[in-house]
Copies of this chain bind each other. A is one copy, B any other.
Amino acid sequence: MNMALTQMLRKCVREAAQRPALRQGAEVWTYGDLHERSARLAAALHAHGLQAGDRVGMLAPNGLLYPLFMWATWWAGGVINPVNVRWSVAEIAYALDDSQTRILLVDEPFVATAQALRGVSTSLQTLIYCGSGVTPEGMLSLRELWATHAPAQDHGGRDGDLAMIMYTGGTTGKSKGVMLSHANLYVATLGSIAMSPRPMHGRALMVAPLFHIAALGTSLRMLRQQAQQVFLPGFDEGAVLEAIEACGITDMFLVPTMIRRVIDHPDFARRDTSSMRSITYGAAAIDPTLLERAMTAFPQVQFSQAYGMTELSPTITMLTPEEHLPNPKRAQRLRSAGRPMLIAEVRVVDEQDRELQVGQVGEICARGPMVMMGYWNLPELTAEALRGGWMHTGDAGYFDEDGFLYVVDRIKDMVVSGGENVYSAEVESVVTQLHEVSQCAIIGVPDARWGERVHAVIVPAAGQTVTLEAIAAHCHQHIAGYKCPRSMEIVEALPLSAAGKVLKNVLRAPHWQGQGKGVA
């Protein structure tokens, strides 16, 4: 058994060398092109000192250079470090230095960032400029490296070899390097196709950022099915609709907000989207009304929901297209994250890791070949996350009697008030029903009587006034009394992580100063 990811690229060259692999604007690379350019860059990486297992970073927007980065690094026997380009220079430097990344590929828009990094990063040695302009001082030129290096042989990896370190800021604390092996990503890709099959040779529109695992995993799945990947540099709903029509797109991965923006776009009705076959959504909960609207807007499309996290390569449950179709339990199931993947064992446990029964809320844990190798250089955190052989997701959830999983909150964001668990996500969804509320984050704050008190952090809608009384009155109509906010603060905006998640630790911090909880 050898589950080197490069097997996929070798197969593409052998079986589909002439097929278009990547497309960005007018530029199209066949699988033959991708292979040759990856193998030439791999040779250049070797020439510049890359050894098996060394990390290579990338600063680029979505585009065909991104797969080049992935496949050249793997072809050379290296490890990819897909840097989040939304991070600050200091955050990027942390991800590079923590993982001792010496080689960094830099696309045009990030030349200034790369130059700033040179003054900060202690590990960075070799910068490869991938733009089409004049090569900046002190950087190598990708085009010159291609021209001066013959394609390397495949140095691949073997099953348990590290393939990627992906830094996740998550919603708490400093970022951690999640280590995924070749076998992790190899089997996860296959498991995903087995759960939600699509025909070979599709055309996928890649709009979610490739430095996140959801899009990167989609890219791997598309390559395994010898599909064409069409890249847009960023998310723009008009451009998405245009690309679907122009390229005959069949598949997309979208986060819920992207789905909303696409179907709400004024051009939607006049664009031809009939080529679409599948939409996978995930990374955040979807509003059932939005899902219904999306299924009406794309009547011929198979919808799948994926739930997971970077540490799980990433998917552990899926709500399959079949389960989106009419059935007596559909309304309930559309609120779930689906059932476990064929490759995943999933269970819900209490604080002592005892397995809970149907309907009981606890921490969601997963086991199987998709579980990460660990966090880079963080053995204690790794041991804690993987205790008992199960990955502890930090998500709270429960199973229903048919084995569907419902995710209710991050464990750390649950509020324990008067001995009752309050799931912030539930309260937030009720509060944001009020038209005067734009956004809401529910946190627990210290309370002498209740231990913790349900506290609402509110961004009012433009020109609106929000009162605690109005919120409490509305909540009392929909949810139990102990779940209703008892205090409130008004803010202009919620603090967000690079991945767009609300940083509740930042919101909690001032309330919990000197009292332990909050910042963790």
A224-251, CB < 8 A from B: 224-225
Question: Please, could you name 23 A-B residue pairs with CB atoms under 8 Å apart, sorted by A?
Answer: A1-B159, A1-B160, A1-B181, A1-B187, A1-B369, A1-B370, A3-B183, A3-B187, A7-B367, A159-B159, A159-B160, A159-B183, A187-B190, A190-B190, A190-B191, A190-B194, A190-B342, A193-B194, A193-B342, A194-B197, A197-B197, A224-B342, A225-B342
Not counting A1-B181, A7-B343, a sample of 17 additional A-B residue pairs whose C-beta atoms are within 8 angstroms of each other reads A1-B370, A1-B371, A2-B368, A3-B369, A7-B367, A7-B368, A11-B340, A11-B344, A15-B339, A187-B187, A190-B194, A190-B342, A193-B194, A193-B342, A197-B197, A199-B322, A224-B342
Residues of B within 8 A of A16 (CB): 403
**Contact indicator per residue, chain A 327-345, by CB within 8 Å of chain B (1) or not (0):** 0000000000001101111
**Contact indicator per residue, chain A 187-202, by CB within 8 Å of chain B (1) or not (0):** 1001101100101000
**Contact indicator per residue, chain A 1-17, by CB within 8 Å of chain B (1) or not (0):** 11100010011001110
**Contact indicator per residue, chain A 365-381, by CB within 8 Å of chain B (1) or not (0):** 00111110000000000
Whether a CB of chain B sits under 8 angstroms from the CB of A176 is no
Residues of B within 8 A of A339 (CB): 15
Whether a CB of chain B sits under 8 angstroms from the CB of A184 is yes
A23-70, CB < 8 A from B: none
| Bound-state Cα–Cα, A510 to B159, Å | 48
Across the interface, A340 reaches (CB within 8 A) one of B1, B15, B159, B342, namely B15
Residues of B within 8 A of A345 (CB): 7, 10-11, 14
Residues of B within 8 A of A342 (CB): 190, 193, 224-225
A1-B184 contact in complex given A15-B403, A340-B11, C-beta closer than 8 Å: yes
| Bound-state Cα–Cα, A369 to B369, Å | 14
Residue of B nearest to A224 (CB): B342
A158-210, CB < 8 A from B: 159-160, 181, 183-184, 186-187, 190-191, 193-194, 197, 199
Q: Report whether B159 and A343 are in contact in the complex, using a CB–CB cutoff of 8 Å.
A: no
| A510 shortest CB reach to chain B, Å | 43
| A387 shortest CB reach to chain B, Å | 16
Q: What size tier do the contact residues of chain A reach?
A: 35 or more
Whether a CB of chain B sits under 8 angstroms from the CB of A504 is no
Whether a CB of chain B sits under 8 angstroms from the CB of A324 is no
| A225 shortest CB reach to chain B, Å | 7
Whether a CB of chain B sits under 8 angstroms from the CB of A102 is no
Whether a CB of chain B sits under 8 angstroms from the CB of A508 is no
Whether a CB of chain B sits under 8 angstroms from the CB of A453 is no
Residues of B within 8 A of A190 (CB): 187, 190-191, 194, 342-343
**Contact indicator per residue, chain A 306-348, by CB within 8 Å of chain B (1) or not (0):** 0000000000000000100000000000000001101111010
A49-94, CB < 8 A from B: none
| A15 shortest CB reach to chain B, Å | 5
| Bound-state Cα–Cα, A197 to B322, Å | 13
Residues of B within 8 A of A7 (CB): 343, 345, 367-368
| A382 shortest CB reach to chain B, Å | 15
Residue of B nearest to A343 (CB): B190
Residue of B nearest to A15 (CB): B403
| Bound-state Cα–Cα, A159 to B1, Å | 9
Residues of B within 8 A of A160 (CB): 1, 159
A343-371, CB < 8 A from B: 343-345, 347, 367-371
Residue of B nearest to A160 (CB): B1
| Bound-state Cα–Cα, A153 to B10, Å | 41
Residues of B within 8 A of A343 (CB): 7, 190
Residues of B within 8 A of A183 (CB): 1, 3, 159
Residues of B within 8 A of A199 (CB): 322
**Contact indicator per residue, chain A 507-519, by CB within 8 Å of chain B (1) or not (0):** 0000000000000
| A226 shortest CB reach to chain B, Å | 9
| A126 shortest CB reach to chain B, Å | 31
| A327 shortest CB reach to chain B, Å | 13
| Bound-state Cα–Cα, A493 to B243, Å | 65
Residues of B within 8 A of A191 (CB): 190
Q: With a 10 A CB-CB cut-off, give which of A15, A16, A194 has the most chain B CB atoms.
A: A194
A347-B14 contact in complex given A187-B1, A194-B190, C-beta closer than 8 Å: yes
**Contact indicator per residue, chain A 393-409, by CB within 8 Å of chain B (1) or not (0):** 00000000001000000
Residue of B nearest to A192 (CB): B194
**Contact indicator per residue, chain A 489-515, by CB within 8 Å of chain B (1) or not (0):** 000000000000000000000000000
